[in-house]
Structure 1
Amino acid sequence: MNKVLDRNRTPLMKEEWNLELEKMTGSPFAPKWNAIIGDRIGEEEFLFVTSFQKDLLHAKEHSLYQTKGTILPFIESYLNTSDFFKKQLQGIPWKQNFELIPFMNRDDLQTKITEIIPNDVNLKEIVINPTSGTTGKPILAPNHSKAIGCYVPLIEFSVERFGVRPIHSPKSTFAIQLCYQENTIVYATCHSLAGGSKFAKINIHPNGWKKPSDLQNFLTESSPQILTGDPYAFESAMQMGIHYKPEAIHSTALELTPALRTRLSAYFQCPVINFYSLNETGPIAYSCPNEPEWMHLLPHDLYVEIISNTTGNPVPTGNVGEIVLTGGRNPFIPLLRYQTGDQGEIQYGPCVCGDHFPRLRLLSGRKPVYFQKQNGEIVNPIDVARILRKNPIIYQFQVEQTNANEWVCRLSLEETTRGNESIWENEKKAIQVELTSLFGEGSVVHIHTDFPLDGKKQIAFLNSYQRKKEQEAKS
């Protein structure tokens, strides 16, 4: 798979890195690889990330997190290059009254991206990363390899706080990401920013392996320092009886409940790190080693506000509201009071763990929802989303399991399609066929076009049938 040095995808690739990567991809226990990925880190990007890491460590050591005063130079730097910034700030004394700056939201990223992107950037360097799209409409978020590269020092900082010392060697596998989906990309690569150490994304679903025993053997052979993934994947790994003891579990993408965190820690015999990150922002926070219910702000270049859900004004410390972000390092999406849609509270002051950056507590994150076929097999909602997102006329969706064999799929459609019944009927039949095939024989899928298209985050997946069964069991 990697017989020649691929310096197009990994410009700094070395012979010894490639040899170790070939051992992983050519292992007799390897999964069914279906993608080739590189970090696109050249000398310029390497210097950017190493400089970012130095600034991060300095800021952490001296508790130099962003405030509404220190973030002003960031805003001013985009005033003459981003048409969006110019329009948002025009005619208001924003330096004297930060709260007068209008909010930026997901709808802006969907409809005003050409205004947001600064006019002095090199568009040839854009990397497109579609967001997970909890509203159903993924955002084609433009990014840069140097900003994506900053994930490495941010993740390494978070695991080091839990006693993990990343090994920068091509003979080492730093992380393997676990997924449980019927279909997803599966690849192995090495990181130029970590001395060529390896990383792989694997699908633990039986579809992803040549033999059932290969998964366990591959993990043992690769010996990753940490396992990453979402709570759904880790819970599936426990149910499958996978046995591997990493140095840490790095959980992201969905809300990690205290009960599941305790179970994961006991099963894998290691600390569990909860990681709050958005594709459009990058890493935001990681769980405090002493109080895991709280998460320390991770990067030094993001300013965090908590705003009232009713008035839009900042709320006093200790109150719940929406998390709003300004700053970041993505040159294509500078954030200006970006409404994340996530709810939480913020706390300032020293922490006994030693990281004195502000602490966040997420109060309504993206809780995992599980669908279940009549035969008992679990369906990952990501597989449902994959079917719906590929259809360009669907702007938002919500899928709910209402019975053992019944689902309701609520959609919001592109305006120009709503009046054309013939086009919609054909699309509806195709969606029903695919979803019925996914949910299994005998399943019934009802499709409605009554889902609100309002630019706000919506609950994408519901399982009222499972909730009803749980309530009946308790009674």
Structure 2
Amino acid sequence: MGGNKKPVVSLSDQERFPEINDLSFLMQMKQDELAPLFNFQSGDRLNSEKLELVNQYALRIRSSKKFWEKDQLPDWLDDYLLKCKRTVPYYNSRPKSLYDQPTIDRSIVRSTPWQFVSSELNLEDLLVYQTSGTTGAAMDVLFDPVSQACWLPQLQSILDLYGINLDSRPDNVTIALVCSQKSTLTYASLSTYLKSSGVLKININPSDWKVPAHRIQYLEKYNPQILTGDPFAFMDLLALKPRITPKALVSSAMKLTEGIRKKLEEYFACPIIDTYSLTECRMIAFAENNRHRAIRPELYLEVFDKDKDILLPYGERGELVITGGNNPFLPLIRYRTGDFCQLEIENGIPFIVDLEARTPVAFYKKNHYCPTKL
């Protein structure tokens, strides 16, 4: 695990989709005359056992009404800490009680990611994602097919609150990840969890397409139900005026301003949802009434002093620290996010107030946005 590496394609489609027998729609998306110049192949690798784990996670996250109350710890936390201490090398010598645990930060996970891998895991399930390094040095994040696929139930738990249901079937595109970058991985894929429906990752940079006009024609042909991306990608997409009817746009990576939100809402006529997430643990919360509502009952949130390893009293502002998650290859205990906020608990649901994430910076080149975060 060193510097930036190009991905190596080594699996067949049958290995990527062990539970999907009919791959004809995948071939259609790839071979369409309007398709972009896809440069990667991706699959969820969910067999029947792993799919059941994703379904169980979906049931929990979509039905949870209360996470924990003020001045209380969630009931799952003690067992989680004990398991980490027993099976995860980095935590073997750590205290049993959460209150005795020091915080950790990105530099520790980046330097020794293998120390966070449980001794109980099958390394055949190991997947590695390398961050771009735009918020610091590049970092290898370890995960498995189940935790990777669980971003979909996390998304659904947000859509549920908007009354949005996904039409999951094998002949349509449920989600398109839209990028506007100089270069990025692009692919057509299928979601086993979403009943073999299509998932796209596209870059609207004209150089990624055989003909620039195909960018809009391809999107209009497949008309994804959900678009995900960052505010700059969405504004670049808006400039192309695609005739599509998404059920929602889900923004991440940087703050969505009210001005951009209104422009997107006016054109696409659907909810524009601003999410807060980390590569290390995926989605955490989404913006609701000038604050962020937490969506993960298995993620415990605390606020610490920026410079000292001191837990701050309820309601005080400091650095957001997280414990838990569902990634067995990166179990987190008091992990400093580098983001700042206050916490409020209402009816057992945590809310992140006045979130100050790492600063987004946009570079402009001939009307092309290249967003990043410091």
TM-score by length of 1: 0.72
The answer to whether structure 1 residue 361 and structure 2 residue 316 are counterparts is: no
Residue 347 of structure 1 aligns with an amino acid whose one-letter code is E
| Deviation (angstroms), 1:132 | 4.0
Residue 14 of structure 1 is matched in structure 2 by 21
Greater gyration radius? 1
Q: 2-side partners of 1:23 and 1:115: how far apart?
A: 42
Residue 322 of structure 1 is matched in structure 2 by 319
- RMSD (Å), alpha carbons: 2.0
| Deviation (angstroms), 1:141 | 0.9
The answer to whether structure 1 residue 44 and structure 2 residue 49 are counterparts is: yes
Confirm or deny: 8 A CA contact 1:342 1:362 kept in the other structure.
Answer: no
| Deviation (angstroms), 1:127 | 0.1
Residue 99 of structure 1 is matched in structure 2 by 99
Residue 190 of structure 1 is matched in structure 2 by 190
Matches within 5 A, 1:4-403: 6-15=13-22, 18-60=23-65, 63-65=66-68, 68-70=73-75, 71-89=77-95, 94-95=96-97, 98-288=98-288, 291=289, 293-350=290-347, 357-373=349-365, 376-381=366-371
Any stretches of 5+ residues in structure 1 without a counterpart? 351-355, 383-458, 461-475
| Deviation (angstroms), 1:348 | 0.9
Q: 1-side partners of 2:266 and 2:310: how far apart?
A: 42
Secondary structure of the 2:94 match is helix
Confirm or deny: 8 A CA contact 1:372 1:379 kept in the other structure.
Answer: yes
Q: 2-side partners of 1:227 and 1:366: how far apart?
A: 23
Confirm or deny: 8 A CA contact 2:113 2:140 kept in the other structure.
Answer: no
| Deviation (angstroms), 1:51 | 1.3
Secondary structure of the 1:21 match is helix
Q: 2-side partners of 1:365 and 1:136: how far apart?
A: 14
Q: 1-side partners of 2:354 and 2:127: how far apart?
A: 29
Could you list the per-position Cα deviations for residues 154-200 of structure 1 after superposition, in whole angstroms to 9, with x for gaps in the alignment? 11121222222111201121111110112111111110001011110
Residue 6 of structure 2 is matched in structure 1 by none
| Deviation (angstroms), 1:362 | 4.8
* Divergent runs of 4+, >6 A: none
- Between the aligned residues of both structures, percent identity stands at 28
Q: 2-side partners of 1:262 and 1:186: how far apart?
A: 28
Task: Count the aligned residue pairs.
Answer: 360
| Deviation (angstroms), 1:244 | 2.9
Could you list the per-position Cα deviations for residues 195-223 of structure 1 after superposition, in whole angstroms to 9, with x for gaps in the alignment? 01111001111111122221111111101
Confirm or deny: 8 A CA contact 2:68 2:74 kept in the other structure.
Answer: no
Confirm or deny: 8 A CA contact 2:187 2:200 kept in the other structure.
Answer: yes
Q: 2-side partners of 1:297 and 1:203: how far apart?
A: 30
Could you list the per-position Cα deviations for residues 47-97 of structure 1 after superposition, in whole angstroms to 9, with x for gaps in the alignment? 11111122223423xx134853521210111212122112232xxxx53xx
Q: 2-side partners of 1:327 and 1:301: how far apart?
A: 6
Q: 1:210 to 1:24 in 2, by over 3 A?
A: same
TM-score by length of 2: 0.90
| Deviation (angstroms), 1:14 | 2.1
